[in-house]
Amino acid sequence: MMVASNDFGTTKVAFDKVNKFYGPFQALRDVTLSVTTGEVVVLIGASGSGKSTLIRCVNGLETFHSGSLVVEGFSMPTIKDLEFGGGEKALRQIRRGVGMVFQQFNLFPHKTVMENIALAPMRVRGKSREEAQATAMRLLERVGLRDHAQKYPGMLSGGQQQRVAIARSLAMEPHVMLFDEPTSALDPELVGEVLDVMRELRTEGMTMMIVTHEMAFAREVADRVIYMDKGAIVEEGPPAQIFDKPISDRTRTFLSRVLKH
């Protein structure tokens, strides 16, 4: 197990003994984990194992009860901090540097693709409309959707929507990208185009935390794979180690189940 480092230059995300409960149910158990700059961490595990909860903590969509979480040098407020009205500022600081892509895309259906991408840079970063739209256009070109700028999300396929969602996150120039099962809601033939964009991000050196069920993709892009079960990190290591010679029996059972399919 690693210990949270104080070196913010290379450590982007540092969990230290984080615990989270939903009533009596413990969603995270003593999670300690750190992610360094440029690292791609893939989280695997059965549904309900806490991997989504874990990455949602990184940008404050989930709060936790004990332990500490430091993202880019900012300390994530705990439930208690937020209850007393504090921590909002730190939360916004953290979110500026962390992008997130969701399973259900969560594009804004009442705004065009262009507006979806340009809105946050204008409202949050205070960019001018021209600047934001130019950036948006560049990003759309990068995800191969230049011609769809004026369409509404409802007119696009799932894969296209997810690529727009990635572009939307990138428009905020994040230092860390979180992917919460980005391909789970896609038809199989559309998965590839999304994974291509993610591969490209990796080559550019983006720090990423990915929750996925695409084991082949995990093996390909991950610097480190983390297997979670019942809210705890069971095993972590390079993909070759996790996939080929896992130490834990639980990891082995899980992998044999998913890889058979």
Partner 1 sequence: MIIATLHSWARRNLFANLIDSILSILIVTALGWLLTVFLRWVIWDAYWQRIYESLRLFLVGQFPEDQTWRAWVALALLCTAVGAVLLPWSRRLGVAIWLIACGAAVFVLVPPGLDRWGGLLLSIMLTVVVSTASLPLGILFAFGRSSRNPSLRACCTGYIEVMRSVPLILVVYWIWITVPLFMPEVSISSLARGMIGYTVFNAAYVAEYVRSGLQAVPRGQREAARSLGMSNWTISTEIVLPQALRVVQPALVGNVLDVFNGATLVFIIGLMDFLRAGQLILVDPAASGQTNEVYLFMFAVYFVIGSAITFGSRRMEAHMHRSTR
Q: Which residues bind partner 1 (CB under 8 A)?
A: 59-61, 92, 95-96, 98-100, 102, 104, 106-110, 119-120, 123-124, 152, 154-155, 165, 168-169, 172, 178
Give the nearer residue to partner 1 in terms of CB position, either 108 or 216.
Answer: 108
Give the nearer residue to partner 1 in terms of CB position, either 153 or 159.
Answer: 153
Whole-number minimum distance, CB 96 to partner 1, in Å?
A: 5
Burial pattern 186-213, b for ≥16 Cβ within 10 A else e, equals: beeebbebbbebbeebbeeebbbbbbbe
CB 57 within 8 A of CB 48: no
Angle at 69 between CA 119 and CA 118, to 5 degrees: 5
Whole-number minimum distance, CB 38 to partner 1, in Å?
A: 21
Whole-number minimum distance, CB 119 to partner 1, in Å?
A: 6
Residues 6+ apart with CB under 8 A from 92: none
Whole-number minimum distance, CB 131 to partner 1, in Å?
A: 17
Whole-number minimum distance, CB 186 to partner 1, in Å?
A: 16
Give the nearer residue to partner 1 in terms of CB position, either 36 or 169.
Answer: 169
Give the nearer residue to partner 1 in terms of CB position, either 165 or 242.
Answer: 165
Burial class (CB in 10 A: 0-12, 13-18, 19+), 40: buried
Q: Give the residues across from 178 on adjacent strands.
A: 100, 209
Beta strands at 98-101 and 176-180: parallel, antiparallel or unpaired? parallel
Residues 6+ apart with CB under 8 A from 16: 3, 4, 32, 67, 68, 69, 70
| Distance separating alpha carbons of residues 250 and 214, to the nearest angstrom | 19
Give the nearer residue to partner 1 in terms of CB position, either 62 or 223.
Answer: 62
Whole-number minimum distance, CB 23 to partner 1, in Å?
A: 19
Continuous segment of H or E residues that includes residue 128: none
Give the nearer residue to partner 1 in terms of CB position, either 75 or 106.
Answer: 106
